[in-house]
Structure 1
Amino acid sequence: MSDDAPGRRPSIRDVARLAGVSHQTVSRVLNEHPSIRPETRERVLTVMAELQYRPNRAARALVTSRSQTIGILSASSTMYGPASSIASIEAAAQERGYWVSTANIDASAPQSIPDGIAHLMAQSIEGLVVIAPQVRVFRALAAQQLDIPYVTLQSTGLDPDHTLTVDQIGGARLATKHLISLGHRQIYHLAGPQDWIEAEARMRGFLEEMSANDIPTTAPILGDWTAEFGYYAGRELLRVRDFTAIFSSNDQMALGLMHAIRDEGLDVPRDISIVGFDDIPEAAHFWPPLTTVRQDFAELGRRCVDLLLGPRGDADEPAATPTIMPELIVRGSAAPLR
């Protein structure tokens, strides 16, 4: 087959021939070698753009021992928080010239964890992010002998040397403190699933803030993150109605609670105040708009990639820190106690 055969992808030798350089020179341009003159680099890059040349990443990894790829091990990629974390890491990685490969695992199947890691390691990933909010995943991860940089997104001390987190405890305290500041004392907490690290941290933040204000608490209700459960829990709680406010561990369950309250002929926030957590895109359009705790996923992605790859070299860029503080977004679903 000739070099000009139709349908064939352009090769590094095609670029070299049209740019009037050797293929070794093209390779040095691709690898950003400092010995290449600026005018030569510009000429090669122009030809690459004209040919729409894309380097073979697998072959390049063999030559450079670098894949320019970050791996993500995810156990809950369909949930808002993990999905937003993945999207933010992908965006931050692309800014650094890296690709992202995601392996979705089943946290309830122990063998899927080492299988997922093996799948990513076979792609010669240069760093690993673990977005698996269940405690059992981190216990399985501890048994793996990882020889690459890795970061875990979680809010406990399970792996303190490799942890980046949004301060879930602090965020829950912000939500609870807001309700207390409005005069509420009979506050319930609708928590997430028991084995989720974020759910445990938000429950702990709620209990700590209530205790700090000497307010008695009832046992939190364990939910499953869904609006359906929020609706069911709301219907059950309203049989007694011994509360004036609820802090929901996520926005979807808060939506279900608001639906149940409305079905009882009651009003949010006149009769019952609600605060959620996450600030999903729809939260501002609930009725009433939901007061909630916002996590900065864009910042989470940037810091995560910086921890794996090192700072970007910008002198004005602050060093990545392992904890990001969330923000209370005050809207219309919580009001002073009547």
Structure 2
Amino acid sequence: MKPPVIADVARVAGVSVPTVSRVLTGSVPVSPERRARVMAAIKELGFRPNGAARALATGGQPLIAVFAGDTTRYGYASTIQGIEEAARQAGYMVVISVVDADDRRTVDAAIDHALGQPMAGAIVLEYDPPGVAALAAMPPWLPVVAAASGKPSDEQVAHAFMDDRAAAARATRHLLDIGHHTVYHVAIPSPGRPSARMLGWRDALTEAGAVVPPVLYADWAPDSGYDAGTRLALSDEVTAVLCGNDELAMGLTKGLTDAGKRVPEDVSVIGFDDHPLSHLWTPPLTTVRQDFVRLGQKAFHLLSTQIDSGTVPASVRFVPDLILRSSAAPRAARVADVG
């Protein structure tokens, strides 16, 4: 079957093609009753207007929207950088909409504001609860792609995603392989479910028959990593920690050090993301390297394919690399182990 066109929407809604066009562009006021019929027909048919074609027909530059829960954190900003670079090369402009909460009113307001312009499509950064909520609320007629840090939550939407679960499992296995009996985990906030990083950490411990310690939940700030470090320093059983991101790992290292622990002699630490400062930290941070810029570029290429073809492309998976530096070392022998 061919994708529905504007004439199909007009037929189902019982209105003229110009009326449908006015609803989509907002160029001329339309009565609430007719607008409701058009929107119901769009939903029923799964119609997706080609915003790029409309922009070109009117002499404008095609637009895409990026929805993100934050624009300041390293992973978010780098993903947006990749999207913008690829979009600019393809002749698109990018409009960024920050969704700072996951309640329906906030999400709908952000979407309505962005889609007040004739968008060709949208990319959602599905890194947190606001991103998950925004993806679920996208209108069915709009081409949409998600950039994510774990397995796609919605198979009907194309994803460019990092396999954080596999990467976290690899980092955890590395610590077990160099002699640590178990690995503690300081977790970043997750999008309404256990994060892929937490699941990978647990997978590796379970497969190795190691004890799975309680998770320490933190926020995004390095200060929460510092607090976790001071808490973990109270136990001599803690010899290895996997952190949900590098900022937490940096804060954790400082907290451990201030509490009298040495990194890596007493406690090994691994972070996540390969933050630009991670190799300059003391000691240099072993971490999982994520190429967010490339992820953003691929997300745009998926969206461009969907806009041009009218079909949802296959998702693309990236496996991050483990970068070995000085913050993780073999577990030191203890008197209690040999006594």
- The TM-score bracket by the shorter chain reads 0.7 to 0.9
* Contact 1:72–1:130 (Cα < 8 Å) also in 2: yes
> Partner letter of residue 192 of structure 1?
I
Change (3 A) 1:264 1:134: closer
* Contact 2:83–2:299 (Cα < 8 Å) also in 1: yes
Q: Hey, what does 1:102 align to over in structure 2?
A: 96
> Partner letter of residue 233 of structure 1?
A
Q: Deviations over 1:299-335 (max 9, x none)?
A: 2122111111129x9xxxxx98521111111111001
Change (3 A) 1:139 1:263: closer
Long gaps (5+) in structure 1:
1-57, 314-318
> Partner letter of residue 113 of structure 2?
H
Change (3 A) 1:249 1:304: same
TM-score (norm 2): 0.75
Q: Hey, what does 1:161 align to over in structure 2?
A: 156
Of the three residues 244, 255, 262, the one matched with 1:267 is 262
Give the structure with higher Rg (CA). Answer: 1
Of the three residues 243, 268, 284, the one matched with 1:289 is 284
1:164-179 mapped onto 2 (5 Å cutoff)? 164-179=160-175
Q: Hey, what does 2:183 align to over in structure 1?
A: 187
Q: Hey, what does 1:138 align to over in structure 2?
A: 132
> Partner letter of residue 214 of structure 2?
A
Q: Deviations over 1:179-236 (max 9, x none)?
A: 1121111310111124466x61100010001111111111111110221111111111
- How far apart, CA to CA, are the structure 1 residues paired with 2:134 and 2:122? 15
- How far apart, CA to CA, are the structure 2 residues paired with 1:310 and 1:291? 37
Q: Deviations over 1:252-299 (max 9, x none)?
A: 111111112211332111111000001110001000100000111222
Q: Deviations over 1:100-146 (max 9, x none)?
A: 11011222442121222222222211110011423465346434433
* Contact 2:64–2:94 (Cα < 8 Å) also in 1: yes
Q: Hey, what does 1:238 align to over in structure 2?
A: 233
* Contact 1:71–1:100 (Cα < 8 Å) also in 2: yes
Long gaps (5+) in structure 2:
1-51, 333-339
Q: Secondary structure at the match of 1:336?
A: coil
> Partner letter of residue 100 of structure 1?
V
Change (3 A) 1:67 1:118: farther
Q: State whether structure 2 residue 247 is matched by structure 1 residue 252.
A: yes
Q: Secondary structure at the match of 1:269?
A: coil
* Contact 1:303–1:321 (Cα < 8 Å) also in 2: no
Q: Secondary structure at the match of 2:156?
A: helix
Q: Secondary structure at the match of 2:119?
A: coil
Of the three residues 293, 302, 305, the one matched with 1:307 is 302
Q: Secondary structure at the match of 1:165?
A: strand
> Partner letter of residue 281 of structure 2?
F
- How far apart, CA to CA, are the structure 1 residues paired with 2:152 and 2:320? 19
> Partner letter of residue 307 of structure 1?
L
Residue 67 of structure 1 deviates from its aligned partner by 4.0
Of the three residues 61, 83, 107, the one matched with 1:113 is 107
What's the C-alpha RMSD, in Å, of the aligned pairs? 2.5
- How far apart, CA to CA, are the structure 2 residues paired with 1:296 and 1:62? 33
* Contact 1:67–1:124 (Cα < 8 Å) also in 2: no
- How far apart, CA to CA, are the structure 2 residues paired with 1:144 and 1:70? 13
> Partner letter of residue 213 of structure 1?
A
Q: Hey, what does 1:335 align to over in structure 2?
A: 329
- How far apart, CA to CA, are the structure 2 residues paired with 1:90 and 1:136? 21
* Contact 2:99–2:130 (Cα < 8 Å) also in 1: no
Task: Report the more deviating stretch, 60-69 or 185-194.
Answer: 60-69
1:13-92 mapped onto 2 (5 Å cutoff)? 61=55, 63-64=57-58, 67-92=61-86
> Partner letter of residue 260 of structure 2?
G
Change (3 A) 1:96 1:131: same
TM-score (norm 1): 0.75
Q: Hey, what does 1:228 align to over in structure 2?
A: 223
Q: Secondary structure at the match of 1:90?
A: helix
Q: Hey, what does 1:279 align to over in structure 2?
A: 274
Counting aligned pairs with the same residue, the percent is 36
- How far apart, CA to CA, are the structure 1 residues paired with 2:75 and 2:227? 23
- How far apart, CA to CA, are the structure 2 residues paired with 1:203 and 1:65? 48
Change (3 A) 1:283 1:87: same
Task: Report the more deviating stretch, 230-239 or 109-118.
Answer: 109-118
* Contact 2:184–2:213 (Cα < 8 Å) also in 1: yes
Q: Hey, what does 2:320 align to over in structure 1?
A: 326
